[in-house]
Structure 1
Amino acid sequence: MFNWIVRHSLHNRLLVLAVAALLLIYGALSATRMPVDVFPALDKPVVTVMTEAGGMAPEEVEQRVSYPLETALNGMPGVTRVRSSSGVGLSVVYAEFDWGTDVYRNRQLVAERLALVREQMPAGVNPTMGPVSSIMGEVMLLALPLDASAGAAVTPMQAREYADFVLRPRLLSVPGVAQVIPIGGERRQLRVEPDGTRMAAAGVSLSQIESALQGFAANAGGGFVDLGGR
């Protein structure tokens, strides 16, 4: 059979060249229309859950945050592997799903499990899902130094406010950046310390102070009048 093909190809050289040219043109057109990229994503659909736990050591983050999240995500349909990484004040949990599953359906399943596991989290700890991105991407950690080289020393609160309101919006505007999560530092708070003696003398209760603080710094349109919560 091979000898027959070689013999007839030598006797019909023009026909062989014409067929080869047609196949070359067809291959070039097919290559330009192929839906597969040169470097396809070779990883399974993954949903990332990131949790900030300020003030906790890696051991505490692992026991109180990462382990409950792994336990909750392990029993979901389609999950093949759950792994985590616990650091100082930060927990990252990766839930890998089967090939071909819809990533948005997977995120919906994870959101349902997070709604149940939030009750087991420590106070002030709220796990959130990361953006839809490939696990083959790179995670970059940036640190803001607190030195006095440029003049007055920078406090941890000033560094956190700069990261939240200046650095984070600028990094999110860079093409290819999926998400920016500031961690560490100090958040600005207003603390109220009631004086029980003066409150008793003025006839003010803790519930009244709490109600007054809930409406503190609230924005309202012009001509707005508050009448008993209406």
Structure 2
Amino acid sequence: MKTFFTRWSIRNPVITVALYIGVLILSVLTLIVIPVRMMPYVQSPLVAVITRTPGSSPMEVETYISKPIEQRMTVLDGVRFVRSSSQQDLSIVTVQFAWGGDVDKAVRDVQSVMKSAEGDLPIDGINTRSYWVLPIDPLNRPVLTLALKAEDWDRVKLREFADNTLVDRLTSVQDVQSVFITGGYRRQLQVNVARQKLAAYGLSILQVRDAIDNLNRYC
């Protein structure tokens, strides 16, 4: 077999060179067109609902944000399971759909549920940022992590600089999809409430929070 191909190549040098050039061109085109990844890409069936509630404890986040969202997500078609993580100032609810389904449709369904739930969830106060609904894509991991440090600034000033200046500058960079900030310290007002007296007046914690929010609007 080797002898045959050798003889054929010698007798047809032009065709042989053309074949080698064709293989080389196809190799270069393949290298340019086909994406190169360390691992095969598989579309994740996970959708996350992220809600930021500055000033809320993990227990308050779980009671007033995470659990109500979990209960509403269970009515969606194709949901395999729903789980949540409640942290200081942050709620993350993860919804898993069936593998191989339409992830874009799943995101729209979750957004629709959240839209109808806005009136029942305490996510419209002045101290509460809006929620995000986004697919959990293995390729959407952070590609750059920055740590801020300054000898003459405290944690409050560092956080204010990150929120008011750094975020705007980073999001203005081309191809930057999102920027998340953690750490630092926000100026907060702590209100200690006597639950017995609150109950005697027929008030709830949420009503106290709303009153503080309304006051902040005019300060």
TM-score scaled to structure 1, two decimals? 0.55
Task: Give the C-alpha shift of residue 166 in structure 1.
Answer: 1.7
Aligned CA-pair RMSD: 4.3
Unaligned runs of 5+ in 2: 190-213
Q: Percent identity?
A: 24
Choose which of 6, 26, 35 in structure 2 pairs with 1:37: 35
Distance across 2 between alignment mates of 1:58 and 1:141 = 25
Letter in 2 for 1:110: V
Choose which of 100, 122, 142 in structure 2 pairs with 1:138: 142
Please state whether the residue corresponding to 2:72 is helix, strand or coil: helix
After superposition, what is the alpha-carbon deviation per residue over 1:173-204, rounded to whole angstroms, capped at 9, x for unaligned? 3453523357862379xxxxxxxxxxxxxxxx
Partner of 2:71: 71
Contact (CA 8 Å) 1:171, 1:180: kept in 2 or not?
no
Partner of 1:199: none
Please state whether the residue corresponding to 1:122 is helix, strand or coil: coil
Task: Give the C-alpha shift of residue 91 in structure 1.
Answer: 1.1
Task: Give the C-alpha shift of residue 114 in structure 1.
Answer: 0.3
Partner of 2:26: 27
Task: Give the C-alpha shift of residue 126 in structure 1.
Answer: 5.9
Distance across 1 between alignment mates of 2:133 and 2:61 = 18
Contact (CA 8 Å) 1:50, 1:92: kept in 2 or not?
yes
Distance across 1 between alignment mates of 2:159 and 2:42 = 37
Unaligned runs of 5+ in 1: 189-212, 218-230
- Equivalent runs, 1:45-60 vs 2, <5 Å: 46-60=46-60
Letter in 2 for 1:59: M
Task: Give the C-alpha shift of residue 66 in structure 1.
Answer: 1.9
Partner of 2:5: 9
Of the two, which has the highest radius of gyration?
1
* Residues 187 and 88 of structure 1: CA distance in aligned 2, closer, same or farther (over 3 Å): closer
Distance across 1 between alignment mates of 2:114 and 2:31 = 43
TM-score scaled to structure 2, two decimals? 0.57
Task: Give the C-alpha shift of residue 169 in structure 1.
Answer: 0.9
Partner of 2:170: 171
Letter in 1 for 2:24: I
After superposition, what is the alpha-carbon deviation per residue over 1:9-54, rounded to whole angstroms, capped at 9, x for unaligned? 35534469558526623532540563x4102643415433211123
Contact (CA 8 Å) 1:47, 1:96: kept in 2 or not?
yes
Structure with bigger RCO (C-alpha 8 Å, 6+ apart): 2
* Residues 169 and 75 of structure 1: CA distance in aligned 2, closer, same or farther (over 3 Å): same
* Residues 92 and 11 of structure 1: CA distance in aligned 2, closer, same or farther (over 3 Å): same
Distance across 2 between alignment mates of 1:21 and 1:117 = 63
Task: Give the C-alpha shift of residue 140 in structure 1.
Answer: 7.6
Contact (CA 8 Å) 1:114, 1:127: kept in 2 or not?
no
Contact (CA 8 Å) 1:49, 1:94: kept in 2 or not?
yes
Choose which of 119, 129, 133 in structure 1 pairs with 2:132: 129
Please state whether the residue corresponding to 1:129 is helix, strand or coil: strand
Please state whether the residue corresponding to 1:31 is helix, strand or coil: helix
Distance across 2 between alignment mates of 1:165 and 1:119 = 29
Distance across 2 between alignment mates of 1:63 and 1:117 = 15
- Equivalent runs, 1:44-123 vs 2, <5 Å: 44=44, 46-97=46-97, 98-99=99-100, 101-103=102-104, 105-122=105-122
* Residues 143 and 10 of structure 1: CA distance in aligned 2, closer, same or farther (over 3 Å): closer
Contact (CA 8 Å) 2:44, 2:136: kept in 1 or not?
no
Letter in 2 for 1:84: S
